[in-house]
C-alpha cells in the first residue's frame, strides 16, 4: 500500500482547515511545516475574540477595503505565522502550504520570516481577477521557492 506523500497530507489539511473559515467570500487554509512536522495551522478570518463574519454579516460579509478585500480579516498565512511566533516556534526554513497563493502583503511576511518554500493550490490573481500573482513574483524574485501544488500520489483503491 502506498503511503501518502507529506505534501499531499499537508495540503489536504490546509483544504480541511479552510472549511473552518467564517468568511462568506473565500475560505483559505494554511499549514506551516518543517521536516515533516506541523509547526502551526491557520485559516482566514478576523482576529480571535472579535466577531465571525458569517454570523455578524451573513448576507453581505464584512466591510471591504479600497481594494475590495475584507477590512477585518487576517489571511490564513498570517494566522499560521502569528500563532507560531506567539508560541516561540522556529519558522526559519519552513514550508507553508496554502490553498490560495499569497497576496503581496503575505508574501512580504513570508519572506521576512525566512520561510523557504510556498506550496499553493489555487491562484490568488485568478481568484481576484487581477493580471498577475504579485506575491508569487515577489517571493521568487527574492529566492523563495514557490510551486503550485499537484497531488503526488493517488489514493490506493
Burial class (CB in 10 A: 0-12, 13-18, 19+), 154: exposed
Residue 77 annotated in active site = yes
103 is in an annotated binding site: yes
User: Closest by alpha carbon to 99, among 19, 36, 23, 4?
Assistant: 19
Give the distance from CA 150 to its chain's centroid: 16
Q: Are the C-beta atoms of residues 124 and 137 closer than 8 Å to each other?
A: no
Place of cell 517571493: 139
**Ligand-binding site membership of 23 (annotated):** no
Catalytic residue selected from 55, 59, 77, 145: 77
Residue 75 marked in a binding site: yes
Q: Would you name the residues annotated as active-site residues? A: 77
- Binding positions are 75, 103, 106
- Binding positions for Zn(2+) are 75, 103, 106
Amino acid at each position: 500500500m502506498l503511503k501518502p506523500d507529506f505534501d499531499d497530507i499537508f495540503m489536504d489539511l490546509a483544504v480541511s482547515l479552510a472549511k473552518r473559515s467564517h468568511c462568506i467570500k473565500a475560505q483559505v487554509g494554511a499549514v506551516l511545516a518543517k521536516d515533516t512536522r506541523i509547526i502551526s495551522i491557520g485559516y482566514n478570518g478576523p482576529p480571535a475574540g472579535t466577531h465571525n463574519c458569517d454570523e455578524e454579516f451573513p448576507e453581505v460579509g464584512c466591510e471591504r477595503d479600497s481594494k475590495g478585500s475584507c477590512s477585518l480579516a487576517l489571511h490564513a498565512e498570517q494566522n499560521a505565522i502569528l500563532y507560531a511566533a506567539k508560541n516561540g516556534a522556529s519558522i526559519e526554513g519552513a514550508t507553508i502550504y496554502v490553498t490560495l497563493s499569497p497576496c503581496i502583503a503575505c508574501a512580504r511576511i513570508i519572506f521576512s520570516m525566512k520561510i523557504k518554500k510556498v506550496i499553493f493550490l489555487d491562484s490568488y490573481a485568478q481568484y481576484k481577477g487581477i493580471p498577475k500573482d504579485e506575491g508569487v513574483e515577489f517571493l521568487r524574485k527574492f529566492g523563495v521557492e514557490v510551486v503550485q501544488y499537484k497531488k503526488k500520489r493517488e489514493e490506493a483503491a
